[in-house]
Amino acid sequence: MSIRERLSGNEATAIAMKQINPDVVAAFPITPSTEIPQYFSTFVANGEVDTEFVAVESEHSAMSATIGAEAAGARAMTATSANGLSLMWEMIYIASSLRLPIVMALVNRAVSGPLNIHNDHSDAMGVRDAGWIMLFSENNQEAYDNMLMAHKIAENKNVLLPLMVCQDGFITSHSIENIELESDEEVKKFIGTYKPEHYLLNDKEPIAVGPLDLQAFLFEHKAQQAEAMKNAKQVIKEVSEEFEKWTGRKYEFFEKYMLDDAEIAIVCMNSTAGTTKAVVNKLRENGIKAGLLKIRMYRPFPVDEVAEALSHLKAVAILDKADSLNGAGGALFEDVTSSMYVNKKQVPMVNYVYGIGGRDTTEAQIESVYEDLQKIASSGDIGNPYRYLGLRREEN
């Protein structure tokens, strides 16, 4: 029986961490994720968890301490945002290449500069090829649920990869909303005890972690990492199904909202998907066959499933909340269009960069995208595929 509550996204994440009760949490405060270690340190001080909380002096140290703890055989977690993640950069790759199933809460925020504390996805997109599993969350509920599933996915012996749970800074991290929580006992039962196969503090099996790895082996080790990421797909599917049996809340690689009979659709991630759902409802009332595909599992990317789900559409808009500044479209656009190409599916697709630096994404903006899609669907003319949504500029 779920517990009806109202919490912010940060509170929900901190409570998930309390219920997980990891061995070690190492974190350094940065807006808008600060509240997560702040609340968690209160749980530590009150004796509600028996976690070793390491108040480090930087995010580089936060990730380093987390790596050390996880390599020693502990379950370790952290939380950060934007420039905090940037400062972890070196250690982010080391965490995944050492195959350490660390779990991180990433509260998405624009990476400087110029300095901005608000939401976009430039932090997450900067580490999209770093070998971490990346799950995105529309709201506080999904941030909580993804966190409860995280360790079972990451620690699976066919995976052994770090995992980050993303949610939108301020928009969901600081918004109080309804949520269904599970009991401490049931969470504990679902997650289970962490029993690493190889770890530094095992005196029966002395091992080295992170030694030199040159021409002879690094290539093979990278291929193993890639294989583990592919394996994660099946594990995410199984864990999500098990989670649904327990809580009744269904999670797949992505959510299809009014998509199966849709003619035009938006693909996006995190909180914008919720606003898009409200717009889809309105358009459906007017007989417009609009739909939404909300990516939950961004890494690994569900290439074949996305291509299949979008193949029947007349026009699709992919919304990127980070500009790749490359003249070739945002990261999500590239992932989706590449998925279509390798699956030999041809659907007109356009890219919108939107919501940069916390620019509010309104229902009117989303509606304008569907209007554009209707024009593309009827004319077959894509025009410029690289577009902006909500950018303020002088009219020509």
Partner 1 sequence: MSNLIEIRWHGRGGQGAKTASLLLADAAFNTGKYIQGFPEYGPERMGAPITAYNRISDEPITIHSNIYEPDYVVVVDDTLLKSVPVTAGLKDNGAIVINTTKSPEYLKETLNGYKGKIFTIDAKKISEEALGKYFPNTPMLAAIVKVTGIMSDEAFIEDMKASFKHKFAKKPEVIDGNMKALELSLKEVKQIQ
Does 108 engage in binding with partner 1 (CB under 8 A)?
no
Which residue has tokens 């291509």?
A: 307
CB of 175 to partner 1, least distance (A): 4
3-state secondary structure (DSSP) of residue 394: coil
Q: Give the residue, chosen from 207, 218, 223, 278, that forms a contact with partner 1 under the rule CB under 8 A.
A: 278
The residue with tokens 């697709």 is 349
Distances (CA, A) of 314 to 7, 70, 280, 344: 39, 47, 16, 15
CB contact set of 346 (below 8 Å; sequence gap of 6+):
340
Q: Binding of partner 1 at residue 118 (CB under 8 A)?
A: yes
Say whether residue 35 binds partner 1 (CB under 8 A): no
Among 40-48, 68-76, 164-172, 298-306, which window interacts with partner 1 (CB under 8 A)? Answer: 164-172
- What's the rounded Cα separation, in Å, for the pair 150 and 166? 12
Specify the residue, 190 or 370, whose C-beta has the smaller distance to partner 1: 370
Q: What are phi and psi of 262, to 5 degrees?
A: -75, 155
Residue 367 within binding range of partner 1, rule CB under 8 A: no
- Least distance CB 156 / partner 1 (angstroms): 31
Residue (71 or 279) nearer to partner 1, CB: 279
Is 168 a binding residue for partner 1 by CB under 8 A? The answer is yes
Give the three-class secondary structure for 280.
helix
Among 52, 177, 255, 367, binds partner 1 (CB under 8 A): 177
CB of 176 to partner 1, least distance (A): 4
Residues 115/39, Cβ–Cβ less than 8 Å: no
- The whole-angstrom separation of Cα 29 and Cα 59 is 8
Eight-class DSSP state of 183: P
Torsion sign over Cα 296, 226, 100, 151: positive
Applying CB under 8 A, which of residues 81, 146, 271, 351 lies at the interface with partner 1?
271
Q: Does 49 bind partner 1 (CB under 8 A)?
A: no
* Closer Cβ to partner 1, 6 or 250, answer by number: 6
- Tell how far CA 346 is from the center of its chain: 27
Please give the residue ranges that form the binding site for partner 1 (CB under 8 A).
Answer: 6, 32, 117-118, 138-139, 168, 170-172, 174-178, 271-272, 274-275, 277-278, 281, 360-363
